[in-house]
Amino acid sequence: MPEWLLKDENYQPLPDRDTFIDKSILSLLRILSRIRAQSGYTGGKHSVHAVYKVACTFLLIVLLSVSRNIWFLAAVGAYLLAALSLMSADRIIRVIKAGLIISFFSFLILLPAFLMGNRYSPVMIPLKTLATVTAVGILSHTTGWHAVTGALKSFFIPDIFIFVLDITIKYIVMLGELSLDLFYSLKLRSVGKNVEKYSSLSGIAGTMFLKSKEMAEDMYSAMECRGFTGSYRVRRRFRFTPADFLYIVVHILLITIFVYLG
């Protein structure tokens, strides 16, 4: 054993600005926890089937963009508020926050039109944006990623496309966890003044690239060993529940309102 290892280190670190490590860790944690929470969402046995949710959300977005009637918008708003009220408080905040931010930006873009005397578009378009983003937010906060990708099967999306989507989400999480550990390690080993901060970051990026390449090659080999020939079948399981029925009735009602109001 070298002598220095047998003694306690007499070391007092110098201050250094490396908040970027903490910020990177925090943002990675935020993304990973969101994906995990979203992927883990099953909705329970009374939840609406993902196929109906995806189809009805798509339909709602089309109707919203086509409609020029403020009362239809009000009806959709009422429905979305009712759907939001069934969610937990933190999810409601996240959905509304995203909707408000995006609709605010669309209002900013349309502000010159409002100042030039156009009173219709600067009100309608941000409201439509708010409703659209809220509808998508509700879908993504109440349906797991795999359920959404699985639902695409019903819309004749090729299986291989669904497969690629599933794998992409899986590897975002895996590589995210790897990069999180790399940042943890960089933080733990940054015990003093690092004059080459950016070279550490490029080292992390390089490791990530090599690891993703290795994972891709491993997966290719594994798929070959398992007899993968390019076709991938997504299994659909359908059981029509009262929740599905209620959900469809509400959307038929919204279509009726849309047609009635013109």
Comparing CB distances to another protein, the nearer of 1 and 66 is 1
Residues 6+ apart with CB under 8 A from 19: none
Interface with another protein, residue 94, by CB under 8 A: no
Size of the site for another protein (CB under 8 A): 41
Member of 47, 154, 194, 241 binding another protein (CB under 8 A): 194
Angle at 59 between CA 48 and CA 139, to 5 degrees: 40
Member of 12, 85, 88, 231 binding another protein (CB under 8 A): 12
For residues 255 and 63, the answer to whether their CB atoms sit within 8 Å is yes
- The sign of the torsion formed by the CA atoms of 249, 255, 259, 262 equals positive
What is the rounded CA–CA span in Å between residue 67 and residue 242?
A: 29
Comparing CB distances to another protein, the nearer of 22 and 224 is 22
Q: How far is the CB of 28 from another protein (least distance, A)?
A: 13
Interface with another protein, residue 23, by CB under 8 A: no
Residues 6+ apart with CB under 8 A from 66: none
Interface with another protein, residue 207, by CB under 8 A: yes
Comparing CB distances to another protein, the nearer of 177 and 224 is 177
Interface with another protein, residue 1, by CB under 8 A: yes
Interface with another protein, residue 117, by CB under 8 A: no
Instruction: Convert residues 159-188 into a mask of x (bound to another protein by CB under 8 A) and - (unbound).
Output: -------------------x--xx-xxxxx
Member of 27, 189, 217, 222 binding another protein (CB under 8 A): 189
Burial of 89 (0-12, 13-18, 19+ CB in 10 A): exposed
For residues 84 and 134, the answer to whether their CB atoms sit within 8 Å is yes
Comparing CB distances to another protein, the nearer of 83 and 87 is 87
| Amino acid type, 230 | G
Rounded to a whole number of angstroms, the distance between the first and last alpha carbons of the chain is: 85
What is the rounded CA–CA span in Å between residue 206 and residue 182?
A: 11
Residues at the interface with another protein (CB under 8 A): 1-2, 4-9, 11-18, 22, 33, 36-37, 178, 181-182, 184-194, 200, 203-204, 206-207, 210-211
